C-alpha cells in the first residue's frame, strides 16, 4: 500500500515509474541500500527476511549463543517523514540534480481536491459534508 493515495494522471504515473527506476539504479550502483533491507526490493520480501532471521536464531541456538531481537513498528511512517530531509539525502547521494528537483516538486506544495455531486472540497470542508451530499 503506497501513500499518498490519489488519482494521478497516466503521465504522472509513468513519470513516477521512470524516476523510481533511475533512483533505484543509482542507489544500487552507489551501494547505498544495505544488503539487509528487504522491503521494496525486487526479489526480497518479508518472507525472505523472516527465513533469514529464523536461520540466524537457529544458528545461534546450535552454537550455544544467546540471540536477541529488537522490532520496530514503522506503521504509517510515510505520514511522518521529514520531506526536506528526503530531498537533502537524495541530493547528498549525488543523484542527478534534475531528478532531485522532480522528486522535490512531487513532495512539496501539493494540494488535493475532491468533487462529489458538484461540491468541491476545500480546506474548511468537512468530510461529513460529503456524506450529506452523496
How confident is the model over 114-126, as a mean pLDDT?
Answer: 68
The pLDDT tens digits of the residues spanning 30-55 come to: 999 888 887 778 888 888 888 999 99
How confident is the model over 58-85, as a mean pLDDT?
Answer: 85
pLDDT of residue 5: 54
Specify the range with the lowest mean pLDDT, choosing from 46-50, 84-88, 109-113, 125-129: 125-129
Q: What is the pTM of this model?
A: 0.61
Q: What DSSP line would sit under the chain, residue for residue?
A: --SS-----HHHHHHHHHHHHHHHHHHHHTT-S-TT--TT-TT--HHHHHHHHHHHHHHHHHTT----------TTGGGG--HHHHHHHHHHTT--HHHHHHHHHHHSS-----EETTEEP-TT--HHHHHHH-
The C-alpha atoms of residue 123 and residue 113 are separated, in whole angstroms, by 9
The C-alpha atoms of residue 16 and residue 107 are separated, in whole angstroms, by 12
The C-alpha atoms of residue 88 and residue 86 are separated, in whole angstroms, by 5
Please state the domain extents for the chain.
Answer: 1-33+81-134, 36-71
| Phi, psi (deg, nearest 5) at residue 5 | -85, 120
Amino acid at each position: 500500500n503506497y501513500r499518498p493515495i490519489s488519482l494521478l494522471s497516466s503521465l504522472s504515473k509513468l513519470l513516477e515509474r521512470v524516476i523510481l527506476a533511475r533512483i533505484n539504479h543509482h542507489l544500487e550502483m552507489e551501494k547505498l541500500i544495505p544488503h539487509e533491507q528487504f522491503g521494496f526490493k525486487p526479489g526480497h520480501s518479508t518472507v525472505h527476511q523472516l527465513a533469514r532471521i529464523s536461520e540466524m536464531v537457529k544458528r545461534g541456538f546450535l552454537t550455544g549463543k544467546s540471540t536477541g531481537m529488537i522490532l520496530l513498528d514503522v506503521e504509517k511512517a510515510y505520514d511522518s517523514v521529514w520531506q526536506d530531509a528526503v530531498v537533502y539525502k537524495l541530493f547528498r547521494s549525488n543523484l542527478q540534480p534534475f531528478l532531485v528537483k522532480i522528486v522535490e516538486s512531487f513532495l512539496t506544495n501539493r494540494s488535493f481536491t475532491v468533487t462529489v455531486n458538484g461540491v468541491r472540497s476545500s480546506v474548511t470542508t468537512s468530510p461529513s459534508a460529503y456524506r450529506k451530499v452523496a
